[in-house]
Amino acid sequence: MTKGEIPAARNLPNGSTWKVDRAIKDTTGAVYYEVASNQWISAKNMTVNKAVETVNSNTNFSTFSSKGKVAVNPQKPTNNQTSNSNPDTASVAAAVLKSINDERAAKGVAPLSQTAALTNTANIRAKEISVKFDHQRPNGSMCFSAFPDGWGTEEENIAYRYKRPANEIAANIMNSFRAENFAPSHYTNVLSPDVKTVGVGVYRSGDRYYVAEDFMG
């Protein structure tokens, strides 16, 4: 698209497939899925194959209810929770690490130890994915170029969530990993017996928390 004003809406082809990371519920109680960056479609016009994180929004989408139409640039979602829905990044990182080791314990897999070197890697990656949400880094190299020197298994999980209590961010990320229906997956990395150490990094940008989980054998 050439530079200029962003259109008020666009249409999606019937039967097309889209990756959905989250949903919002507007002031009327209607649910909309995010199909592209800050672009939404009514749940009435889309089916999903797994549970999707849903947060409240002070937006009314009633003018975007026609079939296949996508609302562009609505107001940002808001979460009607107390101040603990605005945790610091250290609290989120601690909750995510606990969720990883709790999941491993539940499946009979040895816990991971957190290392300073991998934590530094994860913090670098968490900030980078706020710019480019991908396992490829903004400079074009793969994520593993940020890992400390070593030999063995190297894996990375990435996610982002909107502000809410730290334990809910961690639980929601783990739930989304469990629901993945492909292999290898993020959940495969969480339970891998081939990794022994982990670093968890969290970077906050506005009301989003970007999380990187970096594993090594």
How do residues 48-64 score in pLDDT, each as one tens digit? 777 677 776 655 555 44
For residue range 125-152, list pLDDT tens digits in order. Answer: 999 999 999 999 999 999 999 999 877 8
Residue-wise pLDDT for 77-100, tens only, equals 444 444 456 899 999 999 999 999
Lowest mean pLDDT among 5-9, 24-28, 76-80, 88-92: 5-9
pLDDT at 170: 95
User: How would you class 127 by CB atoms within 10 Å of its CB: exposed for 0-12, middle for 13-18, buried for 19 or more?
Assistant: middle
Given this model, what pLDDT does residue 17 score? 74
- Residue 77, preceding peptide bond in cis (omega within 30° of 0): no
φ/ψ region of 123 (left if φ > 0, alpha if ψ in -120 to 50, else beta) reads: alpha
Domains in the chain with CATH codes: 22-63 (no CATH), 89-216 (3.40.33.10)
Residue 113 to residue 142: CA distance in whole angstroms: 24
Alpha-carbon span 32 to 151, nearest angstrom: 45
Per-chain mean pLDDT for the chain: 80
